[in-house]
Chains A and B, each alone.
Chain A
């Protein structure tokens, strides 16, 4: 067990290393943060001083070596822009994003799965057909567009929900969360739904397709022959068999939502990580980008690990022996 976890850990370390190398080279090629950050009125000396202050005067390999050295000491550097430890910056924003991502995935599960089941069981019913057609709306309209429409409708027209921001927060485990207060929940509703829309569609369609594949199989028929209630036949016998792609996709979407919910976050002025990374990319704030992507890559490694474990949970035939 420990050996296996260790192996995964070593692999994760390699992935992180690979990522940092790519980032150092890539960002170097994209441009020089000084060009963006420094006041255009600065003279050569100011410029040189700023470059030195950020350590950009060193050859790239040295910058990388310094970074590695820092990393070994738990220091991922400070943001060029904010002059705060990159990790701290990310840490401040992480709960907001996490909250948003979890809500979005939960919404996708509670709405997508039942609707998908229904559409699979009764493919020709009105609800089933509308769910399928409606789900197309969920992913073919750009997120920013839908987000704005939601704001126009629920905040401006109807005035039911606040338009932007995170609202009141309450403390839990020393972290501020919105979902604990009414106001916070009201602020959370629209962005979460906006983010969930695509995922709902995806889950719905996967479930429906799975149900259609599975329903005619012998073991479903046998389950019926045992006199089980349809809820159990569908909810257990069918569901458990079709969950692997759904879980895969949910894992991907969850990770993706945490990492890149940029559009939604900026439309709803949600102070999450997605905005941070985009802002950082825009000014080539390397320490933040590197630290951020390191966290994200570790998160994906972890999520995918959990998903892999879920596979063995869902289907005993999946064996992960010798699987990374």
Chain B
């Protein structure tokens, strides 16, 4: 019946959810689903700026103490009141989730102790000054302390422990197929428009589009770039898009010797040309980013010269990608001592990022045209990432989604000198190292004042980009499609939230 149908929102998600336990696996499809059932203290708005959720407000009461005022009158799905005890319980549970393949402890490890002041006030102590704590807490979904000591992940999946304060309550989970949810009628905030949500997992791009076209689902995420043009012309459909926090970039190997670069005739080189700044600039300049965005991404991206898109915290105004200039690139190469170019292998995954395989082919074309003979090699993610971690590549494509919405995160993980003990440069797969950047970052991370921190981060970003630490290509756009008559405020963090889908007024 149409009435019932209007009450139901059927969502076509692009990746399978692996668990209903919000603390089991740091994996974006899970986070996307969790936001329906659970809530964090601090949430992100569509543009990935922190906003209050279960916390009404927060402030730094001491350099190392954050105080959060909790929202009163919030009830869990099981009817219990939400209090500071639940927050403490959640923070306590996170590092102890069994067998977690990707632990949420990375978001709570800065906390050295938890102090419950009163049922609606909680203080979180950190070891050092840690300005990022509210942002980290956006990933921490609160569960009721009455679940007892160490609730098992299975119990979440079965629904027994899948209890949050979110706008929807869990009904059922069929692994690999769908999750059914009902509206939480006792929700503290604005009531969702949907009585029922059917959250279906349709990883195949074409199938997802077809499901929308045939009316089997109402709302799909991750619309394939190839279909954007067609769908946007369809009167029965509506699209929503925003620039994502995910950047696609090329790593260049900064080590003294690199495995896949040889001379123009295939001869071995006794050094790594990529350590020469001019070479890196040439390679960056040789790339026609607009062409890639236009032809390969079909407009679903914007060319990028830094980590984050415009409008984000710590975005550097005016730090644009170098203009496409093959002639200048050749000159630079010649100046660096490679008038005949060299040979390089450009690697990348081909089942991970939007159009990943095609992008590296296009880059291969462009590099070839400035005399850098490029062999393009795209392989499946599991093989790729293992090799990338081992440092088996010279130039390769990767992507990075900045979940925190500020440059400290990519700077720390990607650009900072590899320092395993500190967790810095954990995925600095290009082995880039710049003491100046490291220094700026150290200071920034100890600066609680947002304005001052933003400045420092902008400086560090500019330094790294001028040094071509890596070659940024573009920021993807996140695109959703839905049947006409629905609206969605596209989110920069890629998550799809049924509660934010509304019938058009």
Contact = CB atoms under 8 A, between A and B. Distances in A.
Interface in B188-220: 200-204, 206-207, 210-211, 213-216
Contact of A41 (B177, B200, B202, B409): B409
Interface string B18-55: 11010011100000000000000000000000000000
Nearest to A52: B99
B310 interface: no
B100 interface: yes
Contacts of B427: 40-41
Interface string A6-47: 000000000000000000000000111111111111111110
Contacts of A49: 103, 105
Given A50-B102, A164-B210, A269-B202, A36 B381 contact: yes
A43 B420 contact: yes
Contacts of B386: 30-32, 35-36
A83 B98 contact: yes
A53 interface: yes
Given A78-B99, A148-B210, A151-B210, A269 B200 contact: yes
B4 interface: no
Nearest to A51: B101
Interface in B66-88: none
A271 B176 contact: yes
Interface in A134-168: 148, 151-152, 155-156, 159, 162-166
A93 interface: yes
Contacts of B426: 40-44
Contacts of A81: 18, 25, 101
Contacts of B330: none
B228 interface: no
A31 B204 contact: no
B274 to A, nearest CB: 22
Interface string B413-440: 1000000111100110000000000000
A10 to B, nearest CB: 34
A83 B413 contact: no
Contact of A46 (B103, B207, B213): B103
B106 A50 contact: no
Contact of A151 (B99, B106, B177, B207): B207
A: contact size bracket: 35 or more
A164 B211 contact: yes
B160 to A, nearest CB: 14
B102 A38 contact: yes
Contact of A42 (B18, B103, B400): B103
Contact of B177 (A78, A159, A271, A284): A271
Contacts of B177: 165-166, 269, 271
Nearest to A283: B382
Interface residues of B, number: 55
Nearest to A27: B382
Nearest to A268: B207
Contacts of B98: 53, 83
Among A38, A164, A269, the one with the most B-chain Cβ atoms within 10 Å of its Cβ is: A269
B371 interface: no
Given A42-B103, A42-B423, A269-B202, A82 B207 contact: no
Contacts of B18: 81-82
A80 interface: yes
A291 to B, nearest CB: 14
Nearest to A275: B176
A163 B422 contact: no
A124 interface: no
A46 B490 CA distance: 33
Contacts of A36: 381-382, 385-386
B382 A159 contact: no
A155 B100 contact: no
B380 interface: yes
A152 B26 CA distance: 36
A175 interface: no
A2 B210 CA distance: 53
Contact of A266 (B26, B106, B204): B204
Contacts of A162: 214, 216
B154 interface: yes
A279 interface: yes
Contacts of A151: 206-207, 210, 214
Contacts of A283: 382
B174 to A, nearest CB: 6
Interface in A51-67: 53-54
Contacts of B203: 266, 269, 275
Contact of A155 (B201, B214, B381, B413): B214
A246 interface: no
Given A32-B386, A35-B385, A44-B423, A163 B101 contact: no
Nearest to B158: A84
B106 A155 contact: no
Nearest to A55: B99
18 contacts: A40-B427, A41-B426, A43-B106, A46-B103, A49-B105, A50-B100, A54-B99, A83-B21, A83-B101, A89-B175, A156-B210, A165-B178, A165-B200, A267-B204, A269-B211, A282-B380, A282-B381, A284-B382
Given A41-B106, A163-B213, A284-B382, 7 more contacts: A49-B103, A50-B100, A54-B101, A78-B99, A82-B175, A148-B206, A272-B176
Interface of A: 30-46, 49-50, 53-54, 78, 80-84, 89, 92-93, 148, 151-152, 155-156, 159, 162-166, 266-269, 271-272, 275-276, 279, 281-284
